[in-house]
Structure 1
Amino acid sequence: MRSSTLYPLAAYALGIRLATAAAVLGAQAIIPHAAAAVDEAALAPAAAPVAFVPKAKTVIDLGVATDTFLNRDSCGSVRMGGRTLWTCRDTQFNRPNGLPELRIISSTASWSDDGDLVDGAADPGSCAELLASGDVAGAAEIRNKLLPSSGRLRMYGKQSGSAFFPLLDGQCNSNQAGLCPDGSRYTIWPDSPPMAVGSAAYTWIRKFRVNGALQPFVVDPGTALYKVEHKEDGGADAEALPSASVVKGDFWADHEISYGAYGNVVHGGYAYLFAQLSPSGGAGAVALARVKADDGPAAVEDRSRYEYFVAGSWTGNMPRQADAALVAVPNASAGGQGTYYYSEAWGRFVWIGQAGLRVTAEFFVTTSPAPEGPWEQPVPFYTGAGGNYSLSAYSLQAHPALVPRGCDGQAMVISWTINNLIGRDNVYTTPLALVVWDK
């Protein structure tokens, strides 16, 4: 994006959740969760020690995930219908010279194919063979096996020019950026990867509106629930993207805890939904809810079926933002954006992401035997390259859907957004790297 257009939002992102009465500069903006204040108490060691901290043996640069026609940032992914679905935040179409147009679309989606990465190994069923040269000397060999297409994971799909997650009525939706005549903006951005349940996927998006002074109209706004569906046509139109519809525009009302917006993981018949408390409550503490995923999409869409983790047990009574001391799950993240998933090989729930208030690609990891904890204290394991702009790198994600078959517990694919200023244009890239875990 042109720096003159992006900079206010970038500054706003840096001000997310600096929770003081004098200056609350906003809520998750260009960097999902990145500006959440780091709660030192939340990062303190859990009361019960956990004896598992994964360590990276090496991290191998694979290339980039890209649709050459688009300039966009903050992409997450989920497995859907035999392919990988990506959802991203602010997007622009590129001009013939490769630089972006000025017009902004608040969200877009793309596909990527297994053949470009997951099945790219000579023997995709043998992770041991793939990682046999898992050191610096063997990095090129592994990279060529996994991503032979000149270091590019092709993202594709027909773009309509409209926001993938539709702007709601009243959200200045005469344009696809949510820009209002008074200079304010609705920042309708996905903060975490979609959650797949059955044939559908779900995304919770908080409905922030910020004014020209970079202040949110509501510090802890309501949250909309979107449903993503795709009708397979036997490959007749592989470029067709799924559709996203609004289940309920205020699934969580203003000032309620935004369960699901911070992250999700489906395991053991349940969908676990993570939230990060707002400055009006716990200022970055992580809260947890669950719903029976085995009951299908209808359960996810019905609030009456939800349970909430409060004071060490599950209850049907939803807590408040002010109940931080009762709902906080210590160490469930490092305070910034990231990805939750479950590793069968480790028998652990995992979070990989960034610390709050960071604009570098410093990755942290924490694990737990249960979503409720006890979680390990998050530890850093890798720092990726950054760009030349003040918002150098952000939107750190893990991509379980891209892990080569048989590599669970041995490797993970990660990505982040790099922001470079080229002339007057902000240009974004999404690097991919393979983390090889130390055994």
Structure 2
Amino acid sequence: MSLSTSITLASFYISCHAFPSALSQRSTTPTLASAEVIGTVSDPTWNRDSCTSIGVFGRELWTCRDSQSSSAFLSSSASWTDFNSSALPAIDSDGVLNMYGDNSDSVAYFPVQADECGPSPAGGCADGTRYAIWQNSRPMIAGSGSSSSAALYSWITRSHIASDLSNLDPTPATSLYRSDYAMGLASSQLPPVTLDSIPYGTYGWVQDSGHSYLYAQMSNNAIALARVPTAAVEDVSQYRYYTSTGWTNTPPIDGASEAVVPNAGTGGQGTFYYSQYFGAYVWIGIGAIGCNANFYVTTAPAPEGPWSTPALFYAGENGSNECGAYSQQAHPELTNNDGQGNYIYVTYTKVDGANVGYRTPLIKITWA
């Protein structure tokens, strides 16, 4: 299922990737004005954990971790949600933003490979361990130069975990999944997925001036950064790596101090994007890897920083389960201005007891 790394894609422009030439004079210390839980994101057929999203030609594509139906358990699934006539999430009268899409019962959306205890769609191994093919950040959109087709890239760590969720491989490899969308797909069909292997991007991404900036989490939990022309994401020879002395062609050693981008997130799951409202790059996510509904924010004038000290701005409601809240994400494309205004939607996974399953509260954050 490998793709040739010689494939080249033309640049694809969408409004949320248009950046001003000069930074706004507005303060880059985001301050919360209000937070409102406006509904939940859910599917009547699938119970989904830890969802991320990206806007694709007038709809929102969601990718989620462990997903369960009445007949199947997948390590990942995907879905669509719609917008209303005001270009806002189409939340129904019951407060639900409805997910839909044709997931296979036998193949995870990000397919589990043969050397990951596949073809088990959950990645379960005979010895009781598991390959957890769980995305940490939303897909990144690139394009084919067409207004009706696009490639979406997801970088996912090949995590081999024990039953207590501990990592059996301290330096796992990374898989690059590519989903190809075309307007001719049936409305419920999800973009098909193929696989390559390039590191960086597992922790998140931003785009600017034809380049994609891809963040990675090293084995010591520090954040590193690479950049590549967006038209050449699959060509590893065009990657450049950020260090304290500048950009280099040579990938840094894992854990190297010169590769660290201080304060680019907290080391927990979250989302990078650019905000015209603040005139800055923004990261929103969990305070650290753990069980809580706290949201932190940090900003920077450039992808490589300097990033401000992450600050707590909102605390959601914890679930009653032992680990009742986690997987904080922001969703710029759910707004009607691609996250460029004074508000943003965020979600997290909330768990209330074994019989309830996963819930995904949708929260509108308004900045002061």
TM-score w.r.t. length of structure 2 = 0.87
Matched, 1:111 2:56: no
TM-aligned CA deviation for residue 269 of structure 1: 1.5
For 1:116 and 1:337, locate their aligned partners in 2 and report how far apart those are by CA, in whole Å: 32
Q: Is the CA contact (8 Å cut-off) linking 1:349 and 1:369 kept in structure 2?
A: yes
Matched, 1:169 2:114: yes
**Letter paired with 2:215:** F
- Where do residues 258-297 of structure 1 align in structure 2 (5 Å cutoff)? 259-278=200-219, 283-293=220-230, 296=231
The residue number in structure 1 matching 2:327 is: 395
Q: Is the CA contact (8 Å cut-off) linking 2:28 and 2:280 kept in structure 1?
A: no
Aligned residues: 336
TM-aligned CA deviation for residue 148 of structure 1: 4.6
SS of 1:355's equivalent in the other structure is coil
The residue number in structure 2 matching 1:309 is: 242
Q: Check 1:388–1:346 CA distance in 2 against 1; reply closer, same or farther (3 A cut).
A: same
**Letter paired with 1:377:** T
Matched, 1:65 2:50: no
Matched, 1:427 2:364: no
Aligned CA RMSD, in angstroms, stands at 1.9
Q: Is the CA contact (8 Å cut-off) linking 1:187 and 1:208 kept in structure 2?
A: yes
Matched, 1:355 2:287: yes
The residue number in structure 2 matching 1:232 is: 183
TM-aligned CA deviation for residue 119 of structure 1: 3.7
Matched, 1:243 2:187: no
Regions of 4+ moved over 4 Å: 212-215
SS of 2:333's equivalent in the other structure is helix
SS of 2:182's equivalent in the other structure is coil
Matched, 1:322 2:255: yes
- Identity among equivalent positions (%) equals 40
SS of 2:360's equivalent in the other structure is strand
Q: Check 1:147–1:390 CA distance in 2 against 1; reply closer, same or farther (3 A cut).
A: same
Matched, 1:332 2:264: yes
For structure 1, which runs of at least 5 residues remain unmatched after alignment? 1-49, 96-100, 121-145, 253-258
For 1:270 and 1:371, locate their aligned partners in 2 and report how far apart those are by CA, in whole Å: 11
The residue number in structure 1 matching 2:56 is: 80
**Letter paired with 1:168:** Q
TM-aligned CA deviation for residue 174 of structure 1: 3.0
Q: Is the CA contact (8 Å cut-off) linking 1:71 and 1:428 kept in structure 2?
A: yes
Q: Check 1:312–1:62 CA distance in 2 against 1; reply closer, same or farther (3 A cut).
A: farther
Of structures 1 and 2, the larger Rg is shown by: 1
TM-aligned CA deviation for residue 405 of structure 1: 3.2
For 1:89 and 1:407, locate their aligned partners in 2 and report how far apart those are by CA, in whole Å: 24
Deviations, residues 402-430 of structure 1 (Å, cap 9, x unaligned): 012386231000000001214xx351000
For 2:338 and 2:161, locate their aligned partners in 1 and report how far apart those are by CA, in whole Å: 45
For 1:409 and 1:377, locate their aligned partners in 2 and report how far apart those are by CA, in whole Å: 22
Deviations, residues 85-119 of structure 1 (Å, cap 9, x unaligned): 100000000x4xxxxx6x42000000111228734
TM-score w.r.t. length of structure 1 = 0.73
Deviations, residues 278-302 of structure 1 (Å, cap 9, x unaligned): 1xxxx22111100011xx2xx1001
Deviations, residues 292-347 of structure 1 (Å, cap 9, x unaligned): 11xx2xx1001100000012411111101131x10111111122100000112322
For structure 2, which runs of at least 5 residues remain unmatched after alignment? 1-25, 144-149
- 2:155 counterpart (204, 207, 211): 204
For 2:60 and 2:329, locate their aligned partners in 1 and report how far apart those are by CA, in whole Å: 14
